[in-house]
Amino acid sequence: MRVIHLAIKDIKQILRDWRSALFLVVMPILFTMFFGVIFSAVFSSEAENDPRLPVGWINSDTSGQISAGLQALLEGSEVVRPVALDGEQVERAAKLVADGKVAAVVNVPAGYSQALAADRAMSLGVIVDQAAVGGRTVVTALDAVVARLMGAVESAHISADAYQERAGFVDNTARQAYFEEAFQTALAGWSDPPLSVRVELATGAAGVVKESLKINGFTQSSAGMIVQFAIFGLINSGMILVLERKQGALQRLMTTPIRRAEVIAGHILAMFLVVLLQETLLVALGQFAFGVDYLRQPFGTLLMMAALALWAASLGLLIGAVSRREDQVIVLCLIAMFVFSTLGGAWFPLEVTGKTFSSIGHLMPTAWAMDGFQNIVLRGLGFGSTLLPAGLLLAYTLAFFGIAIWRFKFE
């Protein structure tokens, strides 16, 4: 009970300070709206709202059925999407890839459909930079699409040959008509495969966005500001520890029956509850005001909230343990907020920064917090996808808590 009484005392002390409303409520809401508007501008067009990698599409076989089938397979891909290039862009296709405007360019030569229908080999033209971000992913996706196309072509040839042996065709026109029908039947089979496999990624480094999810600018900003202000909101909590040490309150507590472990536990519990309440407010705001669907996985969202609040509380205890003055608390909270938020992907998705920056960012606990939240609201993954991020946050919590206890002084 003494731990709870001490935590209640801290919470009351925080709520009596008018700055608490500014740090814990007003600023997080304003920043969520600000960044949400910015990211909404990025997602304004349908193409930009499509998370798949753009692939330039040049079709010189305009009337061919097989090339049309290839385009349909690309449009149905979960990894890439075709983007038709105009005449000027065709001339500088290689530069578009080099500049990162498109992940690759596919050039379908004239007569492509006719050659494949006649069982003659003809290659596609593909321009791709495999060293670029997403380059190897595009190559793998294009290989899969072409394999499906060639499988449909081969199936149509086998079917036409079998019919030829059994009944025979009147002429080549009849065979061509049969081949085209068989090709379309085989191609349609890829849109409704007999076996589907669902893969859930724990980190969310690469995933498929479900069609039912509403992706907007607030999908990034809501989760990002939850993570950022879980740190920034520690200013008031850290101040309490510094003031109690400065005014001798901690020393006087030691003259009472309360133990040192209970004193630390009480402060930790207060920080945890304050951050958790702030997260609850921001999750509700994101869910009901900005269309960020946290409640599609309520237990996953709750797990990430609790893990983030525990880590933030351990960070707050560490800041309070090493600070000797109120201004030091403010400086350390700001430094922690900027470092952890920027490197951890709270301000922008780490996926767009490249492999090196993303790897460095995932040394930060905040990157795993962002992964856990976005696995739910952005990638449409299940509860299992939050277990690894939450587990790593708890590991960081133990490390920060251990350092804080080591540095904590009651005098």
> In which band, very low, low, confident or very high, does the pLDDT at 11 lie, cut at 50, 70 and 90?
confident
Q: Read off the amino acid at residue 190.
A: W
What is the arithmetic mean of pLDDT over 25-35? 82
Instruction: Looking at the structure, tell me whether residues 72 and 136 fall in a common domain.
Output: yes
Query: How many helices (H) does the chain have, and how many strands (E)?
Result: 19, 4
Instruction: Looking at the structure, tell me whether residues 97 and 221 fall in a common domain.
Output: no
Q: Which one has a higher pLDDT value, 284 or 21?
A: 284
Task: Report residue 40 as tokens.
Answer: 């909404």
> For the segment 107-166, what is each residue's pLDDT rounded down to a tens digit?
999 889 888 888 888 888 899 887 775 677 888 888 888 888 898 889 888 988 888 888
Instruction: Looking at the structure, tell me whether residues 348 and 228 fall in a common domain.
Output: yes
The verdict on residue 204 lying in a domain is no
Q: What are phi and psi of 381, to 5 degrees?
A: -85, 170
Per the structure, the count of domains in the chain is 2
Instruction: Looking at the structure, tell me whether residues 273 and 167 fall in a common domain.
Output: no
Task: Report residue 402 as tokens.
Answer: 């251990």
CB-count exposure of residue 114 (10 Å: 0-12, 13-18, 19+): middle
Query: What pTM value is reported for the model?
Result: 0.61
The verdict on residue 247 lying in a domain is yes
Q: Which one has a higher pLDDT value, 389 or 29?
A: 389
Of 60, 57, 147, nearest in space to 103 by CA? 57
> In which band, very low, low, confident or very high, does the pLDDT at 94 lie, cut at 50, 70 and 90?
confident
Q: Are 114 and 68 in contact (CB under 8 A)?
A: no
Instruction: Looking at the structure, tell me whether residues 25 and 77 fall in a common domain.
Output: no
Q: What are phi and psi of 344, to 5 degrees?
A: -90, 0
pLDDT confidence of residue 226: 92
Instruction: Looking at the structure, tell me whether residues 145 and 214 fall in a common domain.
Output: no
Instruction: Looking at the structure, tell me whether residues 155 and 249 fall in a common domain.
Output: no
The verdict on residue 202 lying in a domain is no
- Which residue range forms the structural domain that includes residue 71? 53-189
pLDDT confidence of residue 210: 45
Match 């690759």 to its residue by tokens. 104
pLDDT confidence of residue 259: 73
d(CA 300, CA 223): 14
Lowest-pLDDT range, 2-6, 42-46, 102-106, 397-401?
Answer: 42-46
> For the segment 259-273, what is each residue's pLDDT rounded down to a tens digit?
777 777 877 888 888
Match 């237990």 to its residue by tokens. 299
Report whether pLDDT(234) > 50: yes
Element (H, E) at 331: helix 326-343
Instruction: Looking at the structure, tell me whether residues 73 and 165 fall in a common domain.
Output: yes
Instruction: Looking at the structure, tell me whether residues 215 and 284 fall in a common domain.
Output: yes
In a 3-state reduction of DSSP, which class is residue 199?
A: coil
C-alpha distances in angstroms, 383 versus 119, 224, 301? Answer: 48, 20, 8
Report whether pLDDT(223) > 50: yes
The verdict on residue 198 lying in a domain is no
The verdict on residue 203 lying in a domain is no
Match 């269309």 to its residue by tokens. 291
Q: What share of the chain is helix, strand, coil (3-state, %, to 5)?
A: 70, 5, 25
CATH number at residue 125: 3.40.1710
d(CA 293, CA 297): 8
Instruction: Looking at the structure, tell me whether residues 58 and 181 fall in a common domain.
Output: yes
Instruction: Looking at the structure, tell me whether residues 58 and 142 fall in a common domain.
Output: yes
Q: Read off the amino acid at residue 101.
A: K
Percent of the chain with pLDDT over 90: 16
> In which band, very low, low, confident or very high, does the pLDDT at 50 lie, cut at 50, 70 and 90?
low
d(CA 25, CA 19): 10
Task: Report residue 278 as tokens.
Answer: 């702030």
Q: Are 135 and 103 in contact (CB under 8 A)?
A: yes
Question: What are 112-116's contacts with CB under 8 Å, separation 24+?
Answer: 112/60, 112/61, 112/64, 112/66, 112/67, 113/61, 113/63, 113/64, 113/65, 113/66, 113/67, 113/68, 114/61, 114/64, 116/66, 116/153
Q: Are 272 and 309 in contact (CB under 8 A)?
A: yes
Report whether pLDDT(376) > 60: yes
